[in-house]
Amino acid sequence: MSADVELSDVSVTFGSFYAAKNVNVKVNGGEFFSFLGPSGCGKTTLLRAISGFQEPSEGKVLIDNKDMSGIGPNKRPTALIFQNLALFPLMSVSENIAFSLEVRGVSKEERKKRADELLELIALEGQGDKKVHQLSGGQKQRVAIARALAVEPKVLLLDEPLSALDLKLRQRMRTELREIQKRVNITFIYITHDQGEALTMSDRIAVMNEGELEQIGKCDEVYNNPLTPFVATFVGENNPLYGKVTGIEGDKAKIETADGQYLATMNESKKLNIGDESIAFVRPESLFIPRDGDNFDNKIDVNIESFEFEGNLKNFYASLKSGAKIKFSVPNAIDTSSITSGSSIVLGFESSKSIILPKASLAID
Where on the chain is the footprint of another protein (CB under 8 A)? 51-53, 72-75, 78-80, 82-84, 86-88, 90, 99-100, 102-104, 134, 136, 147-148, 150-151
Query: Closer to another protein at the Cβ: 150 or 320?
Result: 150
CA distance 274 to 244: 8
CB of 103 to another protein, least distance (A): 4
Cβ-contact 186, 153 below 8 angstroms: yes
Query: Closer to another protein at the Cβ: 129 or 179?
Result: 129
Query: Closer to another protein at the Cβ: 118 or 363?
Result: 118
CB of 29 to another protein, least distance (A): 20
DSSP designation for 312: S
CA distance 164 to 161: 7
Burial 269-280 (b: 16+ CB within 10 A, else e): eeebeeebebbb
CB of 63 to another protein, least distance (A): 14
Nearest to 89 by CA among 101, 75, 99: 99
CB of 194 to another protein, least distance (A): 20
Give, in order, the Cα–Cα distances in Å from 82 to each of 52, 159, 191, 241, 298: 14, 5, 10, 40, 47
Query: Closer to another protein at the Cβ: 101 or 266?
Result: 101
Sheet holding 17-27, edge to edge: 17-27, 5-14, 58-63, 66-67
Query: Closer to another protein at the Cβ: 136 or 261?
Result: 136
Nearest to 51 by CA among 206, 174, 189, 193: 189
Query: Closer to another protein at the Cβ: 21 or 147?
Result: 147
CB of 96 to another protein, least distance (A): 10
CB of 48 to another protein, least distance (A): 9
Query: Closer to another protein at the Cβ: 99 or 190?
Result: 99
CA distance 144 to 163: 14
CB of 64 to another protein, least distance (A): 17
Compute the CA torsion angle 177, 85, 38, 313 (nearest 10 deg).
-50
